[in-house]
């Protein structure tokens, strides 16, 4: 049995296949998943699993160089924004874009992980870094 925190085989596989600057999205329950993108749907019910549990577990396996958030999170979900920024403090850079631009960017992601999170704009695009 796998020893690390991340037990979901599909998420583990996607992370192992990522190269430098490839994108992985962790999303709330409402973010549309673009057609053609791989959907890894973890949502069971409202709040389960929550966004931060999924993000922190993914971060235990994925080297993140950069991340993107929707600008609207600053006004509509400041508490979540602070939690995300703190979890990603080791990333080299970050950016904020409009929610519409965020949704466009998700079309380039290797996969979208859908959580049960039901708070506004609880979405992040993670850009894979390198460990050397």
Domain ranges for the chain, please list them: 9-128
The pTM of this model reads: 0.97
pLDDT at 26: 99
Catalytic residue among 5, 7, 13, 20: 20
User: Is 78 known as a binding-site position?
Assistant: no
Q: List, for residues 60-69, the tens digit of each pLDDT value.
A: 999 999 999 9
CATH number for the region 9-128 comes to 3.40.1650.10
Provide the H-helix boundaries in the chain. 9-17, 51-59, 73-76, 78-87, 99-105
Strand ranges (E), 14-128:
23-27, 38-41, 64-70, 93-97, 111-114, 124-128
pLDDT at 1: 66
Q: How far apart are CA 95 and CA 70, in angstroms?
A: 8
Active site residue 79: no
Give pLDDT < 50 ranges for the chain.
Answer: none
User: Is 123 known as a binding-site position?
Assistant: yes
The CA angle 130-121-102, to the nearest 5 degrees, is 55
User: Is 111 known as a binding-site position?
Assistant: no
């Amino acid at each position: 049995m796998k020893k690390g925190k991340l037990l979901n085989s599909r998420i583990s596989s996607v992370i192992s296949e990522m190269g430098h600057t490839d994108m992985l999205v962790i999303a709330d329950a409402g973010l549309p998943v673009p057609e053609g993108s791989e959907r890894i749907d973890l949502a069971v019910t409202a709040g389960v699993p929550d966004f931060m549990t999924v993000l922190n577990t993914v971060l235990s396996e994925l080297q993140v160089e950069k991340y993107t958030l929707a600008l609207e999170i600053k006004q509509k979900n400041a508490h979540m924004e602070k939690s995300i920024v703190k979890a990603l403090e080791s990333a080299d850079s970050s950016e904020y874009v409009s929610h519409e631009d965020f949704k466009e960017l998700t079309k380039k992601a290797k996969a979208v992980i859908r959580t049960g999170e039901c708070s506004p704009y609880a979405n992040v695009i993670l850009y894979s870094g390198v460990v050397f």
